């Protein structure tokens, strides 16, 4: 199915489980695990067997856990939903970036989305969202309000972004993967590091301009 990670290959026993390791129903978000050894599996990390066991085998007994959210549909197809450790901490609540981005993209006018957090003295972090709109759609205050209301309804008020910016593109690798680390680096005034795999440098400039506007607005309210 387009967009899915397809079916597990023969010999790979993949399951989607909850926090306790129990299988979740079809079309329910959970943690991706592999229950039995499989051909070509990762056996260790170079020079660090203990880290390998801690990272991949400690969350669930006798299950390999790569650290991803996923769901399995009624036909057995796997859908990867993002890293389980890629979360934002807002006022003590952990909010998955993949869940938030999926909510934004489910709006009929949105083609792509990415979110990140910026430091906040009160909440720890506040959420900033970037949305690329579908061809022919123009960003507006009404659309921003629609997206905020959708997030409040689908996820909860705590997940409502402080600001939603409409941009023409997101920073991606040449293979099409959104470079979220660049969003984090720009948000936290850090060096963005290696950008040799970046497809379009103009996307970074657009994101940087948005963050500069956000920070200026925050400074003016203090």
Cα-based torsion angle of the residue sequence 145, 184, 2, 68 in order, rounded to the nearest 10 degrees: -110
Give Cα separations from 107 to 70, 92, 152, 184 (angstroms).
21, 27, 13, 24
Reduce the DSSP state of residue 18 to 3 states and report it.
coil
Active-site residue flag, 194: no
Q: What is the CA radius of gyration of the chain?
A: 19
Q: Which of 22, 85, 121, 194 is catalytic?
A: 85
Reduce the DSSP state of residue 53 to 3 states and report it.
helix
Per the DSSP assignment, residues forming a β-bridge with 31 are: 17, 69
- Looking at the annotation, which residues are catalytic? 85
């Amino acid at each position: 199915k387009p967009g899915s990670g397809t079916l597990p290959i023969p010999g790979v026993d993949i399951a989607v489980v909850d926090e306790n390791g129990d299988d979740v129903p079809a079309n329910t978000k959970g943690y991706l695990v592999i229950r039995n050894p499989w051909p070509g599996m990762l056996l260790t990390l170079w020079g660090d067997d203990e880290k390998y066991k801690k990272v991949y085998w400690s969350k669930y007994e006798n299950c390999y856990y790569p650290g991803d959210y996923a769901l399995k549909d009624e036909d057995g197809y796997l859908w990867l939903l993002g890293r389980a450790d890629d979360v934002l901490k807002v006022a003590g609540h952990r909010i998955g970036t993949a869940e938030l981005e999926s909510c934004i993209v489910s709006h009929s006018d949105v083609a792509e989305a990415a979110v990140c957090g910026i430091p906040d003295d009160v909440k720890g972090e506040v959420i900033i969202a970037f949305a690329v709109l579908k061809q022919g759609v123009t960003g507006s205050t009404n659309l921003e309000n629609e997206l905020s209301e959708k997030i409040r309804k689908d996820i909860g008020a705590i997940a409502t972004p402080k600001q939603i910016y409409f941009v023409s593109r997101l920073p991606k690798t040449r293979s099409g993967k959104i470079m979220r680390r660049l969003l984090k680096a720009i948000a936290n005034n850090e060096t963005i590091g290696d950008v040799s795999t970046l497809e379009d440098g103009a996307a970074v400039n657009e994101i940087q301009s948005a963050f500069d506007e956000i920070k200026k607005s925050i400074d003016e309210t203090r």
